[in-house]
Structure 1
Amino acid sequence: MSNTRTTPIVTIKPELGLHRWIWPGLFLIVGLIAPLALPGDKWIRVAALALVYVALASGLNILVGLTGLLDLGYIAFFIVGAYTTAIFTVNTFGPLLEANPLALWWILPISVLVAIVLAGIAGSIIGYPTLRARGDYLAIMTLGFGEIVRIVSINWTEFTGGAVGIRNIPPLGLTGSGVVPPALTYYVIFVVVAILLLLLASLIASPVGRAWVAIREDELVAASMGIRTRRYKLLAYVVGASTAGVIGVFFAHMNQFVNPDSFTLEDNFIVLSLVILGGAGTLWGPVLGAVLWIFFQAVARDFSVVQEHPEFRTGILALIVIVLMILRPGGIVSKRLELTRARGGRAAPPAALHSFDASDDPRRTDEPVLAVRELKQVFGGLTALESVSFELRRGEVLGLMGPNGAGKSTLLNAVSGVTRATAGSIEFYGERIEQLESSAVATRGVARTFQTVRLFWDMTVLENLLVGGHTRLAGFVPKFLSPFPFVRRGERRTVEEAEAVLAFTDTWDCRDRRASSLDAYQQRRVEIARALMTRPRMLLLDEPAAGLNESETRDLARLIASIRAAGVDVILIEHDMDLLMTASDRIVVLDHGVIIADGPPDEIRRNPAVLEAYLGSDAE
């Protein structure tokens, strides 16, 4: 249903998007001319090693920078890839390669595929039990996993060769000759790394990347948008692990041998430091951090003090990271990620909101939308809700009223799946939802805002709304690896819908601004717009007028009326009595977790129990 309010048409200059190609162009130009410009084979080998660490840092950045998961055992996936190709090309197909060296070019793709599968499985193994862990616990668990893999590589001598390792891994030659120029090895690895970066960039600028960043920013809110947070955290482990596994294959062929000494505990901290050094959560920060550090390390080898004390190299990296975190906490590269490539129009579209037709529901229209029965919520020894029962009817704005600590937000948390009720039932359109997680509740058509505004602050307003439309965009993950435009058709349609919702809430003109740059009133309206992007049938508003002035509160009342007119039922918690009485058709009053009144606003104004709860026993 279209909103009857008129929205001013604001035009902006067309977005050329040329800035997108600065970093990719620089990477391609420098990468292609590097072997021609570097002085000798030694430095070409250094450049190839830098590319290996570019891939490692980029894969770890998916976990640490985008999803906010600290992984100190990341090198384990690198080990899996390296040993996979070593076993394939030496132990399994060794005799064949001796007779026909060119067979490497069909064995190598098999090695890469197997490495992806095995590294992905390893990522799942470490990812699944750590889904609930955070901070120190997560770091310890991943560190232990990394050491387990390294110790297995030492002791499983039948496959890994033990401490000796596996030697005579064939080089990355095209002609089958015994000597392979370092430049050829470099270019093979460069192509592989360029493809990996392209795939990761495509994945980041998709619903998958936005889900990862949303989880990092605020996991609770991400779940309330319908994002299955555990699934996406596990996916982050699999993608990061697969990236390390692929580059491990080519590292083994570049070195032509692998043994446990090639992979140390220290490498985990080095790769993590490169991510932080370049800029965690950016696409090109880890690339720059890896290149600068590997070349600096190569130069430092010629210093006499480093030759006498090799441990100084890692110490210098640690010192650089510490100083940089103080002076530039975001890293060398601070350019924010581009989380969508779809672009909308240059003028505000007609304000509109997706509406639900009650006639499409096979249930009787006189049955309640929401039915809460004998709901009880206990936290330890505190009873927050005690036998709460009420209904929300179609086309209704239901106000929840009560003094601080009455249990209003606790009730909304139970309805939206943020917390599970201790007892009682919650029916939404006839379906029991009290035991569902918040992401599942959201997909049923329940959206909410929070008492304190909780936007994804590092995203733009438009990206925030695209997260709200996540459930309509999510799909077969591999398709998002494609950089081709046809993959973005669904996203472009959702961008158009997001712009219509922004026009509906009078926030279209700030769609390209970062959420953290908005004022309090804009933040409130954008949070409501994001909730509306989930296409809810019921909207839960938790004190939306907090911090607003009188004029802004009146505008908010009109917006709530427009939302109700568009077919969305509303439950409103508010301490602003004028707004609550004006916007609500019926009000339920809570006091100490118990309903003390339920009726129309005029009746609630005169209710003695309500007056006593707010004003004390002496109130008349």
Structure 2
Amino acid sequence: MRHLIGSVALVAVIAAAASFIENEFYLRTLFMICVYFLCAAGMNVLLGFAGQKSLGQAGLFAAGAYAVALLTTRYEVGPWLALLLACGVSAFFGILIAMPSLRVKGPSLAMVTLAFGVVIEKLVTEGSEVFGGAMGIYAIQPLTLGGVPFTMLQWVWFGLGLCLVAHLLLRNLLQGRFGRAFLSLQADEVAAGAVGVAVYRYKVLAFVIAAVTCGLAGALVAQQNQYINSDFINFHLSIFILLLVLFGGSGSLYGPLLGSVTLVIIGALVARWTWIEHFVNGALLLFALYAMPKGLAGVFGSLFRKLGLGMRSSAGAEPARIAPKLPTRSVEPGAAGSLLKADSLNKAFGGVVPAKDVSVALTEGHIHALIGPNGAGKSTFINMLTGIIRPDRGTVTFLGREITQQTVHGICDHGVARTFQNLRLFKDLSVRENVLLGQHSRMQNGFVASLLGLPKARREEAKALGKVNDILAFTGLSQYADAPAGSLAYGLQRRVELARALASEPLLLLLDEPAAGLNPQETAELGQLLVRIRNEGITILLIEHHMDLVMTISDHVIVLDYGQKIAEGTPGKIQEDPRVMEAYLGTSIEAA
């Protein structure tokens, strides 16, 4: 509430101050700050939060500008309705640019979006019959109030209002479930899917948000100028929008504001020397990348922390305690027999076959261990159970429902959680935020409720936070809740990953070598923790090379060798099995 009051007060002060400005140039500069803030705010979601690099924002700017131009001049659509429809057109192009971009990452993604921007630029330049080419489109209807076109001061007021609304809406969205999901995409897409984030869906959503805000900005410029031509749409515009985010502070809610204010004012100061403008922007981009990797927001944030003005965590750390219970979900009615069945799973990578007709049945409430020599196919088997790898043949059934072709996040939604052989934490996020991401699939607030900050979204966030605090207490991590996950000792990072998996309230927990890299004391504590988790009603499948741990806590042991199941049974039976001894010791069955 304080942020809302402060934001409204700031905009009101700027609007009041603008009413005393008579110079048209200064008013237009204020208006362009608003326009570029809208571009940067959406780009910040795409780049700063979701980590998707785009160099095609000029094309999305053009989509909004030319949509409103054509609607008002050719089809005589009213200016207000045309503005709304232009946002819809931009959203469509956002989806269009997102779909092929989902198959590529990094520099390749940037090149795909760059190609889109170049295509749009050539289209509006060469398509003179539709888009006017270099001559452009004239007589675009401006926004009106009582039938009278906006004055420059009213454009400024309207722009300030849109910026306020955009900032508040995006703040609502990014400070909760959706913001954490976007950040998980930037950190590790595989881990994001494993905690229940629909990776491709959220990528598309980030592109659409960036497209709508950029298209809205383009429409505003076209309506304010009452004119648009191909000179407005060029590669420099895409670079400038990228610079707004990087210079202001990528991933910060205040970065777009700092970037747009600073760079538009600098641009206004050098406007009389047009030859120097590109040089200044290029120099600022290099300066931001090398000297201020976190932008102006990072510089000010560090300064505030040194002065003791930094914001404290609203959640607050809890004293260490043992939670009486983990938050869990109940087994669906009618589920009978084994919790999970894998039937004749096969997988080949060229000539390497890590899974040959592997069939396993996991009993509810047991700790199952999956053991075997290195290269036996254990991790491949878990990856097939969780959808990261598709089996060539065979089926996986969970609670009587086949999940063989389900997505990674879909399998998590059903109640299967996992950890990884190599740590996949979101290291720049706090321990609490990592574990909150585990609650993503259990939270019920959708996009609209989160965007508008409705009571349902606040209730879901509070409920998830309460569950996460219980999980942190259960796993002994409460005192580290606000520390960056990547700053903890390796053994604690392993425990954070386990806590994140528990936050999805799984019925089945798959652990891929959770004791790897732990010392004997940490390994013993892990064994005790796993037994406590089993006692909470969570079934566990454990891949592990620490035989003392396996034989101590397991109810049932499965042995793989060269991708085939060679034995299974109780720990005592497995220890005496000659095939297991041969696999581990390399001796013949007779000698074993």
1:326 aligns with 2:290: yes
1:87 deviates by 2.9
Distance 1:380 1:205 in 2: 45
- Counterpart among 133, 139, 142 of residue 110 in structure 2: 139
The two structures, once aligned, show a CA RMSD in angstroms of 2.8
Distance 1:354 1:584 in 2: 23
**Equivalent pair of 2:445/2:456 in contact (CA under 8 Å):** no
Would the alpha carbon gap of residues 85 and 341 (structure 1) be closer, same or farther in structure 2, given more than 3 Å must change?
farther
- Counterpart among 392, 399, 402 of residue 372 in structure 2: 402
**Equivalent pair of 1:357/1:567 in contact (CA under 8 Å):** no
Summarize deviations over 1:5-40 as a string: whole Å, max 9, x none. xxxxxxxxxxxx97x689948963774466368793
Distance 1:284 1:553 in 2: 44
Distance 2:177 2:549 in 1: 36
- Counterpart among 43, 49, 57 of residue 60 in structure 1: 43
Summarize deviations over 1:425-459 as a string: whole Å, max 9, x none. 22222222222221121111110000122111222
Letter paired with 1:51: C
1:116 aligns with 2:87: yes
Partner of 2:164: 194
Letter paired with 2:140: I
SS in 2 for 1:332: helix
**Equivalent pair of 2:431/2:485 in contact (CA under 8 Å):** yes
1:589 aligns with 2:564: no
Distance 2:365 2:446 in 1: 36
Partner of 1:12: none
- Counterpart among 518, 532, 546 of residue 488 in structure 2: 518
1:531 deviates by 0.7
Task: Map 1:69-88 onto structure 2 (within 5 A).
Answer: 69-88=52-71
Task: Map 1:270-419 onto structure 2 (within 5 A).
Answer: 270-302=240-272, 306-307=273-274, 310=275, 312-334=276-298, 343=315, 350-357=323-330, 361-364=333-336, 367-419=337-389
Would the alpha carbon gap of residues 481 and 21 (structure 1) be closer, same or farther in structure 2, given more than 3 Å must change?
closer
Letter paired with 1:362: G
Partner of 1:46: 29
Summarize deviations over 1:269-328 as a string: whole Å, max 9, x none. 1111221122222221122122211111211234xxx45xx1x32222222222332223
Would the alpha carbon gap of residues 547 and 30 (structure 1) be closer, same or farther in structure 2, given more than 3 Å must change?
farther
SS in 1 for 2:296: coil
Task: Map 1:567-586 onto structure 2 (within 5 A).
Answer: 567-586=537-556
Partner of 2:414: 444
Letter paired with 2:512: D
Distance 2:329 2:223 in 1: 59
- Counterpart among 530, 539, 542 of residue 560 in structure 1: 530
Would the alpha carbon gap of residues 573 and 202 (structure 1) be closer, same or farther in structure 2, given more than 3 Å must change?
same
SS in 1 for 2:370: strand
SS in 2 for 1:368: coil
SS in 1 for 2:297: coil
**Equivalent pair of 1:275/1:286 in contact (CA under 8 Å):** yes
Distance 1:249 1:436 in 2: 41
Letter paired with 2:33: A
**Equivalent pair of 1:348/1:499 in contact (CA under 8 Å):** no
Distance 1:511 1:127 in 2: 35
Distance 2:221 2:344 in 1: 62
1:519 deviates by 2.1
Partner of 2:571: 601
Letter paired with 1:55: L
* Overall identity of the aligned pairs, in %: 35
Letter paired with 1:243: T
Would the alpha carbon gap of residues 23 and 571 (structure 1) be closer, same or farther in structure 2, given more than 3 Å must change?
farther
TM-score in terms of structure 2 length: 0.90
Summarize deviations over 1:559-589 as a string: whole Å, max 9, x none. 1111111111100111222211112112112
Which 5+ residue runs of structure 2 have no aligned equivalent? 303-309
1:603 deviates by 2.6
- Counterpart among 155, 168, 172 of residue 139 in structure 2: 168
Letter paired with 1:479: A
Distance 1:482 1:131 in 2: 27
Letter paired with 2:438: G
Q: How many residues align?
A: 579
Distance 1:239 1:85 in 2: 19
1:153 deviates by 2.6
1:174 deviates by 4.1
1:137 deviates by 2.7
Would the alpha carbon gap of residues 22 and 279 (structure 1) be closer, same or farther in structure 2, given more than 3 Å must change?
farther
Letter paired with 2:418: R
TM-score in terms of structure 1 length: 0.87
**Equivalent pair of 1:373/1:390 in contact (CA under 8 Å):** yes
Partner of 1:242: 212
Summarize deviations over 1:199-238 as a string: whole Å, max 9, x none. 1111112322221111111111111112221111111111
Would the alpha carbon gap of residues 135 and 346 (structure 1) be closer, same or farther in structure 2, given more than 3 Å must change?
closer
Letter paired with 1:463: E
Would the alpha carbon gap of residues 424 and 169 (structure 1) be closer, same or farther in structure 2, given more than 3 Å must change?
closer
**Which has the higher mean CA deviation after the structures are superposed, 155-164 or 221-230?**
155-164
Letter paired with 2:104: A
**Equivalent pair of 2:313/2:482 in contact (CA under 8 Å):** no
**Equivalent pair of 2:79/2:141 in contact (CA under 8 Å):** no
**Equivalent pair of 2:445/2:460 in contact (CA under 8 Å):** no
**Which has the higher mean CA deviation after the structures are superposed, 237-246 or 465-474?**
465-474
Task: Map 1:419-568 onto structure 2 (within 5 A).
Answer: 419-568=389-538
1:398 deviates by 0.8
SS in 2 for 1:329: coil
Summarize deviations over 1:451-502 as a string: whole Å, max 9, x none. 1221112222222222211123255422221135453112211111111121
SS in 2 for 1:333: helix
Summarize deviations over 1:66-114 as a string: whole Å, max 9, x none. 11212111122211222222233344448xxxxxxxxxxxx34312220
**Equivalent pair of 1:342/1:495 in contact (CA under 8 Å):** no
Distance 2:354 2:457 in 1: 48
1:361 deviates by 3.6
**Which has the higher mean CA deviation after the structures are superposed, 480-489 or 235-244?**
480-489
Distance 1:474 1:402 in 2: 40
Letter paired with 2:64: G
**Equivalent pair of 2:247/2:292 in contact (CA under 8 Å):** no
